[in-house]
Structure 1
Amino acid sequence: MGVWWIRRDARLADNPALLAAQEDGPAAAVFAWSRGVHLWSGRRRAHLARVLWSLREDTGGAVGVRRGDPADVVLAVAREHDARVVFAAREASPAGIRAQDAVAAALASDGRELRLVGTPYAVAPGRVVKTDGTEYKVFTPFSHAWREHGWRIPAPAADPTAFLPTTSDVSLDQEAARGDADDPLAARHEFREARIREAWASYVETGLDRYAAERDRPDLDSVSHLSVPLAYGQIHPRTVLAATGAIRGEAARTLESELAWREFHADVLFRHPQAQRASLTAVMPDDAWAAGPEADAAFMAWRDGRTGFPLVDAGMRQLAATGTMHNRVRMVVASFLVKDLHLPWQRGAEHFRRALLDYDHAQNQLNWQWVAGTGRDAAPFFRIFNPTAQADRFDPDRDYVRRWVSEVDTPAYPTPMLDHAAEREVALADLRRGKAGRAGR
């Protein structure tokens, strides 16, 4: 008999760690509602509570959710069930590695074992390497090697009745209500595993063929909506890849490429944990970044969707209302913060950490570094998105903008807070100064 330590894999389907725990019979299962979870935004805590509630429902109430440090919680449950082995998915983020090391040490001190089975990725971070064993620093060759490496077929679904009851001391209803009150969203996202899988299957049948052509159009609902279930582990990327792999055509390959970016960023953070806070490549001189009260006011105008640039404001208001944002618009609003407002990428990344419901640590930090030109295979800093041109190209009828900025065509809408062409020249001049400074060292 084993214990399944639930981490970023709150699901019954395609879950190798859970299957390993059930291999010799019913397993116990527990999620540690730790101090780290308390530091999440209210919207993320509320959604997590509903995800865990759904998992408890699917297992007849057997899953335990307990407050405390994972090492203490997991050890206590292992003792209660006299389990010698605890099974969990291997994490690759700095915080995830620290947690599994602490749990492993606590169990070992009591004569028990933590066995790591599977990861939240199709290919475990650190596994895709060049022929000489070194890492890939550019996405395209990484993605080719990632495809060549391949992945296993999805694992069978676990038995929802093969669980040993484990008590809880966390009221998921209360946590969901508290999170909603702290940080409300305009609408809830789906949190039931079965419905998520049904929605994905429906998208494969009726929507995927439009993905390649329309994925950059925020005015069209042509994306998969997988970012939230992937972030909470309610669907494994291998499950997604099994479906796309059976389909010919550009759309399926394009969606697979987006998953490859997710795995590339996880690989980069695994190898370079400092990337969660520090730029991997120096680009700008330190004095290029705006600071002081005016910079703070500019940040708040960006945060609240009051810049006077409709596409930027629509994206930030969508984020505030729903906890998500269309990917094309994410690039535009990030470029605006870094290259028009001259604020460091870390400030935008921190706001996204608090605001995104689909927050994924590696994706968030490395996507911001991509826009800022400081990460692996990043867009060069001189690629500066023009928010007006982007709106004309990708929201031609302004349907997306009008959906989120109702006052856009009225006197109530603010005039642009800056001259984009002028700020672009400032950013490029700072870039040249940075290059000159590095060359003179």
Structure 2
Amino acid sequence: MSRAASVLWLRRDLRRGDLPALGAAASAADGGNVLVLFVLDPALWDGGGPARRAWLAATLEATREAYDGRLCLRVGDPAEVVPAVVEEVGATSVHVSRETTPAGVRRDKAVAAALGEAGVEWVETGTPYAVGPGSVVNGSGDPYKVFTPFSRAWRDHGWPAPATEPQDLSLARVASDDDGWKTVRAALSEDDLPELPEAGEEAALQRWRDFLDDSVTAYKDERDRADRPGTSRLSPYLKIGAVHPRTLLAELRGRTGQGAQTFETELCWREFYADVLWHHPRSSWHDLRPALKGMTYEDNPELVQAWKEGRTGYPVVDAAMRQLLTEGWMHNRMRMVTASFLTKDLHVWWPVGARHFLDHLIDGDIASNNHGWQWVAGTGTDASPYFRVFNPVTQGQRFDPRGDYVRRYVPELAHVPGKAVHEPWKHDGAYDHGYPQPVVDHAEERREALRRYDAVRGSGSS
């Protein structure tokens, strides 16, 4: 085992490039060794679904390789593990990217307090965002409540250039826990895992450059088409920090056209939701806007299970839910469609769906996911109008016009041609291979949803 002057504790920054905290750790080491550490916290590991564990495991393997095999993996409560490792290697400082989620903030306060008692310096450098949450405020010093003015201020605020890797970096070689990498390998061997993308920083950058070369020009027009590969598919890498948004924004600079501008705006949405969560921690699992207080919701486990398994009888909804289960990812337009179906056709409170998504999405980010659900439910910042109820048939016809997306994930309907697949009840023989009838009547449930929304909005609760 080698000694280390400083510790770099990785969390949502599993990469080596464009990592300011690595530079800070190297500077603090002043020519000494830097220990790169990851703590596998059973409280988080055990609570994630198999796909999320596998994606983290694959990324950890890639990160270990990026650090020349010198990623120290320890298992346990970070408040106990990090101070123990620091004492073991004799480090005088611990370096991290600042965390801004409610759980991350609580964890870091506990670790920093334990280190402080031992006289070890706690240093936060950078965040997982181009502009750190809390940095963009209006003229009165208050946070923005609406996306469009936030996006203007976010662009005006700007962000630094990507960080360069420190020269002459010396990495400590410190043993991992015996069962740490065994746990990682076991996660990659679980049964019925979805088809995961290639993991790691190199894979993220390759996907990004392929997107820049092939797809960014048409991104504005193609990103909503579920049947085409028009999105970047970078969200799993951004979630885990295999690539930093600052890197992407730097390479977008100078590119003109609506596609590049739209992609930048999508990155801004991610930063906006992180900012909202920073200022309103309770909004992770509670309505940001209590305008719908008193709303009545249904508790029907059978219908919720049908939604989760992709057996609602509405083809585009079922295709999307099955994509989630088979890939650990879902097309963004379809996330809105399936969320609308759960909250407004089945009348289920949005956290039920948000938890299911976080269990399965390898890009499941609590700020983006849960505020996206509130947007659909009509309870969040920039909320969709409460009376907007996505029609699963017309959404399918518009964004999967030939039915290719549905047939890809719903083999029971593979024999139904063209756009007819979105209305199997109108096609003879559509149900010959076991596809279910609709579990509800969309037109009726739309009227019921509007009735419920009107009732609470008219009660004075807003």
TM over 0.5: yes
Aligned counterparts, 1:268-307, within 5 A:
268-284=276-292, 286=294, 288-291=296-299, 295-307=300-312
Deviation of the 1:185 alpha carbon: 2.4
Return the offset for 1:200.
Answer: 0.9
Is 1:2 the counterpart of 2:2? The answer is no
Which stretch shows the higher mean deviation, 275-284 or 91-100? 275-284
Q: Secondary structure at the match of 2:209?
A: helix
Q: Answer yes or no: is 1:83 the counterpart of 2:91.
A: yes
Match of 1:339 in 2: 344
Kept in 2, the 8 Å contact 1:10–1:55? The answer is yes
Q: What letter matches 2:126 in structure 1? A: G
Give the CA deviation at 1:276.
Answer: 1.1
Instruction: Indicate which of 372, 379, 385 corresponds to 2:390.
Output: 385
* CA distance in structure 1 between the aligned counterparts of 2:192 and 2:120, rounded to whole angstroms: 42
Q: What does 1:323-334 align with in structure 2 at a 5 Å threshold?
A: 323-334=328-339
SS at 2:376's partner residue?
Answer: helix
Deviations 1:308-362 (A, max 9, x none): 1010000000000010000000000000000000000010011111111111111
Q: Which residue of 1 aligns with 2:39?
A: 32
1:234 equivalent to 2:242? Answer yes
The equivalent residue for 1:434 is 456
Contact 1:15 1:158 in 2 (8 A): no
Q: Check the 8 A contact 1:58/1:160 in 2, yes or no.
A: no
- What is the distance in 2 between the residues matched to 1:287 and 1:382? 14
Tell me the SS of whatever aligns to 1:234. coil
Q: What 5-or-longer segments of structure 2 have no aligned partner?
A: 417-429
User: Which one-letter code corresponds to 2:272 in the other structure?
Assistant: F
Distance 2:404 2:116 in 1: 58
Does the CA contact (< 8 Å) of 2:50 and 2:187 recur in 1? Answer: yes
Q: Contact between 1:41 and 1:183, CA under 8 Å: does it hold in 2?
A: no
Identity among equivalent pairs (%) = 45
Correspondent of 2:176 among 158, 168, 176: 168
Distance 1:357 1:183 in 2: 16
CA distance in 1, matches of 2:170, 2:101: 30
Equivalent of 1:96 in 92, 100, 104? 104
Structure 2 counterpart of 1:156 = 164
Q: CA deviation at 1:159?
A: 6.0
State the alpha-carbon separation in 2 of the partners of residues 287 and 109 from structure 1. Answer: 48
- Deviation of 1:47 after TM superposition, in Å, equals 1.6
Residues of 1 paired with 2:305 and 2:181: CA distance?
33
**1:52 CA drift (Å):** 1.2
State the SS of the aligned residue for 1:118: coil
Q: Cα 1:143–1:110, aligned 2, differ >3 Å: closer, same or farther?
A: same
- Using the TM superposition, give the Cα deviation of residue 181 of structure 1 relative to its aligned residue in structure 2, in angstroms: 5.3
Helix, strand or coil: the match of 1:437?
Answer: coil
For residues 338 and 251 of structure 1, the distance between their equivalents in structure 2, rounded to whole angstroms, comes to 31
2:448 partner letter: V
Q: Which of 321, 330, 353 is the equivalent residue of 2:326?
A: 321
Of 373, 391, 400, 1:395 maps to 400
Alpha-carbon deviation of 1:203?
1.5
Counterpart in the other structure of 1:14: 18
1:340/1:164 Cα in 2 relative to 1: closer, same or farther (>3 Å)? same
> Alpha carbon RMSD of aligned pairs, Å?
1.6
Supply the distance in 1 between the matched residues of 2:155 and 2:455 (Cα, whole angstroms).
Answer: 40
Partner Cα distance (2:217, 2:113) in 1: 48
2:425 corresponds in structure 1 to none
What secondary structure is seen at the aligned counterpart in 1 of 2:73?
A: strand
Could you tell me how far 1:180 is from its partner in structure 2? 4.5
Residue by residue over 1:41-95, the C-alpha shift from the partner in whole angstroms, topping out at 9 and shown as x without a partner, is 1221122122111111222221101011112221122222221111000010001
Equivalenced residue count is: 437
* Counterpart residue number, 1:365: 370
Q: How far is the alpha carbon of 1:186 from its aligned partner?
A: 3.3
Q: How does 1:108-119 map to 2 (within 5 A)?
A: 108-119=116-127
Alignment check: 8 A CA contact 1:200 1:224 kept = yes
- Between the aligned partners of 1:67 and 1:116, the Cα distance in structure 2 is 22
Give the secondary-structure state (helix, strand or coil) at the position aligned to 2:325: helix
Q: Distance in 2 between matches of 1:182 and 1:289?
A: 36
Correspondence for 2:154: 146
> Normalized against structure 1, the TM-score is what?
0.96
Task: Return the alpha-carbon distance in structure 2 between the equivalents of residues 349 and 428 of structure 1.
Answer: 22
Aligned twin of 1:355: 360
The residue number in structure 1 matching 2:442 is 420
- 202, 221, 235: which is aligned to 2:229? 221
**Which structure 1 segments of 5+ residues have no match?**
none
In 2: Cα distance, 1:46 partner to 1:171 partner: 16
The AA in structure 2 aligned to 1:270 is W
Task: Assess, with a 3 A threshold, how the Cα gap between structure 1 residues 160 and 256 changes in structure 2: closer, same or farther.
Answer: farther
The alpha-carbon distance between structure 1 residues 116 and 220, as it changes in their structure 2 partners (threshold 3 A), is same
- TM value normalised by structure 2: 0.91
- d(CA) in 2 for partners of 1:367 and 1:170? 40
1:124 aligned residue (128, 132, 141): 132
- The CA deviation at 1:183 is 6.2
